[in-house]
Structure 1
Amino acid sequence: MKSIKRHLFKLATATMLTFSFVSCDKFLNVEPVDSLSGNNFWKDVNDAETFTLEIYRLFRESALLKGPYFIMGELRNAPVRKTLSYPNRWDIQYAAEGNVPRLAYEVRPTPGTDANRFWTYNVEWDILDDWTPFYKVIQGSNILFENIDRLAKNDPSISSNIIQAYQAEAVYMRCLSYFFLIRLYGDVPYYTNANNSTPLPRLDHVQVAKNCIAELEKIKDKLPWTYEEPANRGVRAMRGSVLALMMNLYMWMAGFDEPNETSYYQKVDALGDELVQQGMNSAQAYELIPLNRMDEIFQGRSRETLFEIPNSVNYQGFVSANSRKMIPFYVLDGFMVNLNQDKVNSELAYSPEYLKEIYPEGVADGRKGVWFDDSNWLSGDGKFRFYKFLNFEFKGANSAENYGNSITIFRMAESILLQAEANGKLGNEEKAASLLNLVRARAEATLYPGNGYDNINEAIYYERCKELMGEGWYFFDIVRSKKIIDIKYVSRPMSYSMFQAGAWTWPIDRKALTNNPYMKLNYWNQ
């Protein structure tokens, strides 16, 4: 592929292309502006590059700027609490209780009024019900996939490898968007044509995942393991990005299609072997970064990252710690540039009982010393600290800029633990333990079976809780594993009947019903 001249974090200076929904006459019909389909476009690689970068920008907007998606994944039904330092942060309590109606439908006050409902104005939980932003990414991906062939007609010198690489990126971004959609809403409309004009029903989310896997299987070898330009590493689709997404889709299917779970676990194991043996060992594109350098992961474009959303103080739309969309704001409100600990109070604290569960007493683990304050990590109050994502190297004039890190979606440690989980379910305890211990060794932690758990499946689950804390995996993990209905794992479990009825989903905006006789909403707004 032609070398990329513009870094993604400088995309604001590139030509911005837009997609618009036709709101009334056709459901999910995203029509491109004339310039995208006319003869004045798709003439050369620069057109394809500009269009492709716009798709990545739209995804960043959908997942990061259009509502607290990652906070929802981290806090819903989670072992967290609001602290006495911030008694008005009822959103934290409602999220932990799984109180979706309060989060989604609470009337938001006028700015400057009713301080006890501060959260309803500042935390935009209610806009999560709009799936339009993700469908803009999907439609843009469909347009790219179908129109990229024009390049070969206009410029015979453009190789088929270039065409296939752009099409692979289009498929990846489309399927990644569907992965986010099914975890949030369950069943969703599925389409891959560029100019859809037919009203669509919601398709079973397991079938959506199957469709995406079939798409990804065709293109996974069309992308490089990594890019020569470090600026593109992790922020553009790579072969490892595709493998990680496929593994997660298979694990999602295993949670809801139990008669076929064994075959799904086997697929995850095979993909994990490909990722580790080729991506890490042969191609040496990826690695588990040592504990004393783990801040590199969240600063962005690291060799552990498989896919991330770029976030930098140099990027238009920079999401800082005080955006209330990411964990750092909650655990270090008003973080001071001079790191004056006495002036910092956290809005949120993880339950001390939960922390003791995932970090058994007497078991060595280097993450405790790096990510927490020894004196406050079990306080359960405003003195709780969690430094995992803080960029201590940046000394901006604005204290919020100390959080100038990218948002990790997939990384090697997550994929390795997913493969370990699949092997544990298959009864391959020796291989599962070996994979688990790759992550624990990097964490300078006692290796399994000496890590405080007698059962390999328990050990892997709690390892994901530790390693991925704050990255937005908690809720989706307890949903696909059905631990959300088990009080052994969740202090505020969901009833089995509610789970079966789809209460694990988020409400869908009622505008989805407009002129679509096939559309039905989900548990929360039928």
Structure 2
Amino acid sequence: MKQRFLITILVIAMFSGCKKFLNVDPLDSLSGNNFWKTRQDAETYTREVYRLFREGVAIRTGMILVGDLRCAPVAYGAYPPRGDFNLLSSNSIRTLVNTPRIQGDINTYWQVHGAWDVISDWTPIYKVVQAANVLYEKAPDVAEADQSMSAELIRKYQAEAVFMRCLSYFFMIRLFGDVPYYTNAYNDVPLPRTKDVEVAKACIAELEAHRNDLPWTYEDPANRAVRAMRGSAIALEMDLNMWLAGIDEANKKMYYEETDRLGDELTASNAYKLLPMENIAQVFAGRSEEGLFEVPQNVNYGDVLGNIRRTFTGAVLHYPYIQLNQNSTKSELTYTDGYLKKLYPEEANDLRKKYWFDNNIYNEDGTMQCFKFFNLALGENNTTASLSNYFIIFRYAGALLLQAEALANLEEGSQKAEALLNQVRTRAGADLYSAGTDKNLPDAIFYERSKELMGEGHYYYDLVRSRKIYNPDYCYRPISYGNFVQGAWLWPISEKALVNNPHMTLNNYWR
């Protein structure tokens, strides 16, 4: 505990009193005088990098929830009203981030819980980048004082640093587009924004150079999926390539081919698998063989109870499973416009309807509940423990569907794409896709991702990178093409980024 406190203080110190944008002065405590002496120092610091990501991205903001609700067919279903859901679904982001909490005004009560404005401040994510940069540079120093710090172990720590840095940039380019990119440990100059295409390419190059220094999995199952594995890096590369296919269309065929290659490598490892549907709760409880990377949460440390309104689970459950709204029998979020009937037709076979939803699945009045991330096995009297499911960033089912999507966009890839799609459908006990009866394979894969990954933060970004975001045939709350090209799909950047940085620009659409 003392070491964790020390590391926290060190990282906070790196970002306090900065006179320039992302200015980090070299500190004696980070240069090797008082730290980086033992293998345990490196291990403790590495864990702090993960903790910073957990705090800055998953736990304290609604950043992951944005991916499920923005431009989605959702509305609030319970009282008090969740106006933030309506604003997210209608892409009214300026109102969302600028609406203050007004004491006694029930129509703004959600703002204190959503804290959507904090997403605009990218400092917490850059703390992860900075900490990862320091880890990459300083890990080799430990070998001078601690002989147990082998060259192989140094490379592993550096590969973990690269993964966390690239994951942070991936989250940022999806939110903000162009972002400042740097990898030096102690940046001391104000930086302009780097084109998102270049950031994504740089991250792929880094991951390619370092991912083989990560293990496929860990001997200690406590580290599985919550620490970077080789499969984590491959999944991130796949997502980066598919993002590039959307924003660098001239080269999209190359990115699709790379996604396919990476998917084959992931499958050939035999390190990961789809868990049977009857064991699907283990996936979301964390550290399963299906997990590729995830963020842990634990109610014993107050993670859930203090932030439940920033999670998908908190939105789609009600009393007696979650007691947020004075024992309300309606969830705070409801799907509208017949969306769940489209994903899960009443006549279609699909065990996800049984395992993830209650009998009110098609109701649009807030009575529908989704138990995907809630451990029903613990019973109604253990609701706090039932909420300890993890934030899933990447898992094997998502990677299979991403590879299938890439293949469906290649002339020769249809048969292989169909097989990958049906792997996921077979696990779900769902009706199999057949080209003989369903002529639109890309659509089938798109909707399969919408079903399988619901609540995991992918829906909106799938719409954006596929350019379905301005097509009303796919997007229930479309952004017009004109507004899209002007940046309506981006998230506003806080004006704090302009302080002492003459090179910085904001996202003009939201100014």
CA contact (8 A) 2:21 2:497 kept: yes
Q: Structure 2, unaligned stretches of length 5 or more? A: none
1:508 matched to which residue of 2? Answer: 493
Q: 1:388 aligns with which of 372, 378, 391?
A: 372
CA contact (8 A) 2:181 2:194 kept: yes
CA contact (8 A) 2:67 2:457 kept: yes
1:324 corresponds to 2:309: yes
1:61 matched to which residue of 2? Answer: 55
Structure 2 CA distance for aligned equivalents of residues 183 and 254 of structure 1: 13
Q: Structure 1, unaligned stretches of length 5 or more? A: 1-5
For residue 362 of structure 2, give the secondary structure of its aligned residue in structure 1.
coil
Distance 1:403 1:450, change over 3 A: farther
1:70-469 correspondence to structure 2 within 5 Å:
70-83=64-77, 85-86=78-79, 88-110=81-103, 113-278=104-269, 280=270, 285-314=271-300, 316-320=301-305, 323-336=308-321, 344-351=329-336, 353-374=338-359, 376-394=360-378, 399-427=383-411, 428-449=413-434, 453-469=438-454
| Deviation string, structure 1 residues 207-261 (Cα, Å, up to 9, x no partner) | 1000000100001110100000010000000000000000000000000100000
TM-score normalised by the chain length of structure 1 = 0.91
Shift of 1:38: 3.5
Distance 1:293 1:157, change over 3 A: closer
2:35 matched to which residue of 1? Answer: 41
Give the letter for the 1:103 counterpart: L
Distance 1:452 1:320, change over 3 A: farther
Stretch moving more, 387-396 or 193-202 = 387-396
CA contact (8 A) 2:321 2:380 kept: no
For residue 250 of structure 1, give the secondary structure of its aligned residue in structure 2.
helix
CA contact (8 A) 2:76 2:83 kept: yes
Structure 2 CA distance for aligned equivalents of residues 22 and 204 of structure 1: 27
Structure 2 CA distance for aligned equivalents of residues 331 and 51 of structure 1: 36
Structure 2 CA distance for aligned equivalents of residues 205 and 196 of structure 1: 20
| Deviation string, structure 1 residues 2-50 (Cα, Å, up to 9, x no partner) | xxxx9xxx99789644323255522112346532224221111001001
Structure 1 CA distance for aligned equivalents of residues 449 and 19 of structure 2: 45
Structure 2 CA distance for aligned equivalents of residues 149 and 474 of structure 1: 40
| Deviation string, structure 1 residues 455-485 (Cα, Å, up to 9, x no partner) | 1000000000000011111111101111110
Q: 2:19 aligns with which of 14, 19, 25?
A: 25
Stretch moving more, 351-360 or 377-386 = 351-360
For residue 193 of structure 2, give the secondary structure of its aligned residue in structure 1.
coil
Structure 2 CA distance for aligned equivalents of residues 144 and 230 of structure 1: 24
2:462 matched to which residue of 1? Answer: 477
Structure 1 CA distance for aligned equivalents of residues 350 and 329 of structure 2: 26
1:3 matched to which residue of 2? Answer: none
Distance 1:479 1:35, change over 3 A: same
Structure 1 CA distance for aligned equivalents of residues 314 and 48 of structure 2: 28
Structure 2 CA distance for aligned equivalents of residues 114 and 337 of structure 1: 23
Distance 1:32 1:135, change over 3 A: farther
Give the letter for the 1:181 counterpart: M
CA contact (8 A) 1:351 1:380 kept: yes
Shift of 1:312: 1.5
2:474 matched to which residue of 1? Answer: 489
CA contact (8 A) 1:18 1:32 kept: no
Give the letter for the 2:179 counterpart: V
Stretch moving more, 32-41 or 261-270 = 32-41
Shift of 1:173: 0.5
Give the letter for the 1:487 counterpart: P
CA contact (8 A) 1:188 1:205 kept: yes
Shift of 1:382: 1.9
Give the letter for the 1:326 counterpart: T
| Deviation string, structure 1 residues 123-176 (Cα, Å, up to 9, x no partner) | 111111000001001000100101111122223453210110000000000000
CA contact (8 A) 2:113 2:310 kept: no
How many residue pairs match? The answer is 505
Shift of 1:359: 2.0
Shift of 1:514: 1.0
Give the letter for the 2:183 counterpart: T
For residue 377 of structure 2, give the secondary structure of its aligned residue in structure 1.
coil
Structure 1 CA distance for aligned equivalents of residues 319 and 139 of structure 2: 46
| Deviation string, structure 1 residues 290-338 (Cα, Å, up to 9, x no partner) | 0010000110100000000011223x34124862111111111344389
Structure 2 CA distance for aligned equivalents of residues 90 and 475 of structure 1: 19
Distance 1:336 1:155, change over 3 A: closer
Distance 1:489 1:452, change over 3 A: farther
Distance 1:396 1:447, change over 3 A: closer
Structure 1 CA distance for aligned equivalents of residues 156 and 498 of structure 2: 36
For residue 153 of structure 1, give the secondary structure of its aligned residue in structure 2.
coil
Structure 2 CA distance for aligned equivalents of residues 525 and 160 of structure 1: 48
Distance 1:488 1:198, change over 3 A: same
Structure 1 CA distance for aligned equivalents of residues 373 and 25 of structure 2: 39
TM-score normalised by the chain length of structure 2 = 0.94
Report the RMSD for the aligned CA atoms in angstroms. Answer: 2.2
Give the letter for the 1:194 counterpart: A
Give the letter for the 2:151 counterpart: S
| Deviation string, structure 1 residues 397-437 (Cα, Å, up to 9, x no partner) | 77444311111100000000000000001121100000001
Give the letter for the 1:39 counterpart: N
CA contact (8 A) 2:320 2:380 kept: no
Structure 2 CA distance for aligned equivalents of residues 35 and 378 of structure 1: 57
Give the letter for the 1:188 counterpart: V
CA contact (8 A) 1:247 1:267 kept: yes
CA contact (8 A) 1:337 1:396 kept: no
